[in-house]
Structure 1
Amino acid sequence: MSNKDKVVTFGELMLRLAPEGYLRFVQADRFGATYGGGEANVAVSLANYGHDAHFVTKLPVHEIGQAAVNSLRKYGVNTEDIVRGGDRVGIYFLEKGASQRPSKVIYDRANSAMALADPADFNWDEILKDVKWFHTTGITPALGDNAAAITLEAVKKCQEKGIPVSIDLNYRNKLWTKAKANEVMSEICKYVNVCIANEEDAKDVFGIEAENTDITSGALNHEGYIDVAKKLKDQFGFDKVAITLRESINANRNLWSAMLFDGKTETPVFSKKYDLNIVDRVGGGDSFGGGLIHALMSDFDDQKAIEFAVAASALKHSIEGDYNLVSEDEVLKLAGGDGSGRVQR
Structure 2
Amino acid sequence: MSKIVTLGEILLRLSPPGNERFMQAKSFEANYGGGEANVAVSLANYGHNVSFISKVPNNPIGDCAIATLRKFNINCDYIARGGDRLGIYYFENGASVRSSNVVYDRLNSSMATANVNEFNFDNIFRNVDLFHVTGITPVISKRAAEVTIEALKYAKKNNVIVSFDLNYRSKLWKNDIEEKQSFMRNAMKYVDICFGNARDASKVLGYSDGKNDFINNSYDICISEENMKNVLNKYSLKYLITSKRNNINTSDNIYSAICCNKDRIYSSKKYDIHIVDRVGGGDSFAAGFLHGILSGYSMEDSLEFAVAASAIKHTIKGDFNIASEIEVINVMNNNNGGVINR
Deviations 1:203-258 (A, max 9, x none): 212244687687749786xxx52122112112211110001111111110111111
- Residue identity opposite 1:120 in structure 2: N
Superposed CA RMSD = 1.7
> Which whole-Å CA distance do the structure 2 matches of 1:6 and 1:219 have between them?
33
| Equivalent residue for 1:129, pick from 126, 130, 133 | 126
The aligned counterpart of 2:64 is: 67
> Which residues in structure 2 correspond to 1:227-238 (within 5 Å)?
227-238=226-237
- Residue identity opposite 2:53 in structure 1: V
Q: CA deviation at 1:295?
A: 0.5
CA pair 192-87 structure 1, distance change in 2 beyond 3 A: same
CA pair 268-136 structure 1, distance change in 2 beyond 3 A: same
The aligned counterpart of 2:247 is: 248
Deviations 1:101-125 (A, max 9, x none): 1000000000000000011111100
> Which whole-Å CA distance do the structure 2 matches of 1:295 and 1:56 have between them?
23
Q: CA deviation at 1:184?
A: 1.0
Preserved CA contact (<8 Å) 2:221 2:245: no
SS of 2:129's partner is strand
> Which whole-Å CA distance do the structure 1 matches of 2:119 and 2:241 have between them?
29
> Which whole-Å CA distance do the structure 2 matches of 1:192 and 1:85 have between them?
30
Instruction: Count how many residue pairs are aligned between Structure 1 and Structure 2.
Output: 337
Identity in percent: 45
> Which whole-Å CA distance do the structure 2 matches of 1:218 and 1:300 have between them?
26
| Equivalent residue for 1:47, pick from 36, 44, 47 | 44
TM-score normalised by length of structure 2: 0.95
Preserved CA contact (<8 Å) 1:92 1:108: yes
- Residue identity opposite 2:246 in structure 1: E
SS of 2:178's partner is helix
CA pair 243-136 structure 1, distance change in 2 beyond 3 A: same
CA pair 282-153 structure 1, distance change in 2 beyond 3 A: same
The aligned counterpart of 1:295 is: 292
| Equivalent residue for 1:332, pick from 314, 329, 333 | 329
The aligned counterpart of 1:91 is: 88
> Which whole-Å CA distance do the structure 2 matches of 1:217 and 1:327 have between them?
29
The aligned counterpart of 1:13 is: 10
- Residue 316 in structure 1 maps to residue 338 in structure 2: no
CA pair 218-164 structure 1, distance change in 2 beyond 3 A: closer
The aligned counterpart of 1:112 is: 109
TM-score normalised by length of structure 1: 0.94
User: Where in structure 1 are there 5+ consecutive unaligned residues?
Assistant: none
> Which whole-Å CA distance do the structure 1 matches of 2:64 and 2:220 have between them?
39
SS of 2:67's partner is helix
- Residue identity opposite 1:197 in structure 2: G
Q: CA deviation at 1:147?
A: 0.9
